[in-house]
């Protein structure tokens, strides 16, 4: 069984918007998206449960995104494919999902895993967009995955409990961070990651048309950036035993009670 895991490098620390490009500043240090580590872990467990197979990583980003891929390789993934092209800079959901779908078509994976969301955008919709482009079944918020008889059984976390959903292969699954505890790469894994196949491809390698990537292929645009509005006047109350009454009187004055 071939399992593809779509992963992303996200900025470490506080996020910053570049006022010139109006895009997230990715010039600093980056790390493997924490939610994607859960997807990598689950892919490794699925591979172990079948006794054979391959776990391949796919990512869209700058050349330095290889650092995040190497961590996932050190966890145990078999190889990595990075889509890195200057023409892809500024890709939104529409353009990113198209490029990833083209890369996934080339891989013909049985299972495609995503982390539920990315820590830098928290959109939680990329997996759905990719599944739609590939015309594949998709299950989100997966808290448990089992494979048998050529299909997946997914225990899906909801606000009311759990749904149990069966999906034929190939299928796309977005895992929640409750599904597992990602393993720490061992020293042996870290050293071994250096020798694992790490392929970098361009948009033209995937036959992605120029007008369907980067800002040209995106369907969203940021018009302006502004500081948040200043806080209104506030009143601090020192509690000397009558704070509740002071709050009530304040609310009554504003006709809120």
Segment 38-51, tens digit of pLDDT: 999 999 999 998 88
Architecture of the structural domain at 2-217: 3-Layer(aba) Sandwich (3.40)
Q: How many helices (H) and strands (E) does the chain have?
A: 7, 13
Residue 251 backbone phi and psi in degrees, to 5: -65, -35
pLDDT tier at 168 (50, 70, 90 boundaries)? very high
Helix, strand, or coil (residue 212):
helix
Q: What is the C-alpha separation between 251 and 89, in angstroms, rounded?
A: 51
- pTM of the entire predicted model: 0.83
CA distances from 209 to 63, 213, 217, 245 (A): 21, 7, 9, 67
Evaluate if residue 18 carries a pLDDT over 80: no
Q: Indicate the average pLDDT of the chain.
A: 90
Using one digit for the tens of pLDDT, what is the confidence trace for 173-226?
999 999 999 999 999 999 999 899 999 999 999 999 989 998 888 888 888 888
Please answer whether residues 105 and 207 qualify as being in contact, where contact means their C-beta atoms are separated by less than 8 angstroms.
no
For residues 68-90, average pLDDT: 93
Please answer whether residues 131 and 140 qualify as being in contact, where contact means their C-beta atoms are separated by less than 8 angstroms.
no
pLDDT of residue 121: 74
Between 19-23, 155-159, 162-166, 224-228, the lowest mean confidence (pLDDT) is in 19-23
Between 8-22, 26-40, 81-95, 186-200, the lowest mean confidence (pLDDT) is in 8-22
Task: Quickly tell me which residue has 């959901």 as its tokens.
Answer: 93
pLDDT: is 194 or 5 the higher one?
Answer: 5
Q: What is the C-alpha separation between 125 and 144, in angstroms, rounded?
A: 20
pLDDT tier at 69 (50, 70, 90 boundaries)? very high
């Amino acid at each position: 069984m071939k399992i593809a895991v779509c992963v992303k490098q996200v900025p470490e620390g506080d996020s910053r918007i570049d006022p010139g490009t109006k895009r997230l500043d990715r010039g600093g240090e980056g790390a493997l998206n924490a939610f994607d580590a859960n997807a990598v872990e689950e892919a490794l467990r699925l591979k172990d449960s079948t006794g054979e197979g391959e776990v391949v990583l796919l990512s869209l980003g700058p050349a330095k995104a290889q650092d995040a891929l190497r961590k996932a390789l050190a966890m145990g993934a078999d190889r990595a494919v990075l889509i890195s092209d200057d023409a892809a800079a500024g890709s939104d959901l529409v353009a990113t999902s198209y490029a990833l779908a083209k890369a996934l078509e080339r891989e013909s994976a049985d299972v495609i895993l995503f982390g539920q969301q990315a820590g830098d955008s928290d959109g939680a919709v990329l997996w759905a967009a990719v599944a739609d482009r590939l015309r594949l079944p998709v299950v989100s918020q997966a808290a448990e995955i089992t494979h048998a008889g050529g299909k997946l059984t997914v225990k899906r976390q909801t606000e009311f409990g759990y749904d149990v959903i069966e999906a034929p292969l190939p299928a796309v699954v977005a895992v929640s961070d409750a599904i597992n505890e990602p393993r720490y790469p061992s020293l042996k894994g870290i050293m071994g990651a250096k020798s694992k196949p790490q392929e970098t491809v361009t948009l033209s390698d995937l036959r992605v048309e120029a007008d369907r990537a980067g800002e040209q292929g995106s369907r969203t645009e940021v018009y302006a950036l502004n500081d948040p509005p200043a806080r209104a006047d506030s009143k601090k109350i020192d509690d000397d035993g009558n704070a509740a009454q002071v709050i009530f009187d304040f609310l009554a004055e504003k006709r809120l009670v």
